[in-house]
Structure 1
């Protein structure tokens, strides 16, 4: 089956988060992308003011029915990101079997977007749905440290506790677990942990991610999309896929910072200045220069 992704996550008119952050990189890397927008906002919520619409579970049903009636549910991948409605997330649970009926080899990549830095920004009712219903269906998950702690009911104070949490996440279903970022590195580095385990063989790697002097939005969405692409193109080479994904992110973020500093004229950059420079990073997305090394654990 051709690489064809159904991506269910947020959409913004201006800027790059959710489907706006994921679609272009996937298309550049040769994937067809069909997007369902869980929300449509004028801009991301970090601006402090936004307007827009939220897709409800009945509207999701209508879109899915239209695709099904026209025999368009033939996807190689399902990618999910921000969902703010528990009933909407529960409907996604029901979509996965429909997609796997058409393509039993469907790969489900789930970014369980719930919060960061100790704070949830979705209703707390979403967490048990992710934990008990979504994770058993997912092949690859990409939570950050806070989301992994929520899903496992544990705290990560060191690397060993993080690997314990990864084992708990594997036990819930996903064969590939990637903690996209943790604060378990150092003053200068975040730490990403990635693991593959199918019950008979396993691989574990960690990557130090250089910290950059800015706060970005949409990086998790870009991370999940790139992992989907490189795991597919590399025949599930975890080390190479993580290195290419993080190297691409570093290139995009450095270009974004340079642009923000140029546009802000010496003043602190605005939210608009720090929107990801995705289009300008097309060559880095297609052929990333490897700038980080994944170490075996």
Structure 2
């Protein structure tokens, strides 16, 4: 008996050099046994954090044509569509995307998503509610559930960590349909060590890993989050130590030196040692 293969259509940016968008998501998903079909929404030489970048942006029509080709061959049946409707709206109080895209995310994208991974700023923007306590965060996640997604992970927040100011707080909530037709919600909290470096592609890796681990643990958000955050920890730790070795003592690593050590982390992606524990919130 063949195990049914799991297919993902990943619609994200592509870079020739380095790891962001599809380059950040495809390899780890493939390592975990997923078939990944990629549509590259942009094709750049490298991410835009470098001094220079060149490349092309796919128009909506060009994207549609590619999908049309898959459809004509009747090979457009996917278990998951991964788009970094992360939703990548902004961070630290400022928006990355034009204001007029905000209602598109809110009214069109979020309602059809199963899983969303906003940061605190994006979660507040989508719900119109501020988060200053854990209770606020839970209410915001409940509002996001009402908008459509059954799994919500607020990847980073400004809430005070129980472990001190060197940690960020991340919160997750998963709504599950019970056999009797009622919905049950599991909520988890994680304390994440802060890292003093700017990485690109980590959000894309995070979304891909959460997809993979919620697929493997469909009703166990605690385990899915522990695996996902542990993969992130291993990849980031390896990347930082490599970047510092290259840069030399006392020197700040450059964007090329901080490209994620993805291939070198293959074993950690496949079977991460759990270094992050999630606590289940009993509210």
TM-score greater than 0.5 by the shorter chain: yes
* Residue 163 (str. 1) matches residue 138 (str. 2): yes
Distance 1:244 1:185 in 2: 23
Q: What are the ranges of 5 or more consecutive residues in structure 1 without an aligned counterpart? A: 82-109
Distance 1:63 1:231 in 2: 28
Q: Deviations over 1:51-105 (max 9, x none)?
A: 1111111001101110100001111111001xxxxxxxxxxxxxxxxxxxxxxxx
Give the corresponding residue for 1:191.
169
* Residue 147 (str. 1) matches residue 122 (str. 2): yes
How many residue pairs were aligned?
269
Paired residues for 1:22-37 under 5 Å: 22-37=25-40
Shift of 1:48: 4.2
Give the corresponding residue for 1:216.
199
Distance 1:80 1:263 in 2: 33
Give the corresponding residue for 2:276.
292
Give the corresponding residue for 2:252.
268
Distance 2:97 2:48 in 1: 12
User: Which of 272, 282, 292 lines up with 2:266 in the alignment?
Assistant: 282
Distance 1:263 1:2 in 2: 40
Question: Secondary structure in 2 aligned to 1:46?
Answer: coil
Give TM-score, length-normalised by structure 1: 0.88
Shift of 1:200: 1.8
Q: What are the ranges of 5 or more consecutive residues in structure 2 without an aligned counterpart? A: 177-181
> What RMSD in Å do the two structures reach over aligned CA positions?
1.2
Distance 2:82 2:60 in 1: 17
* Residue 239 (str. 1) matches residue 222 (str. 2): yes
* Residue 114 (str. 1) matches residue 98 (str. 2): no
Question: Secondary structure in 1 aligned to 2:49?
Answer: helix
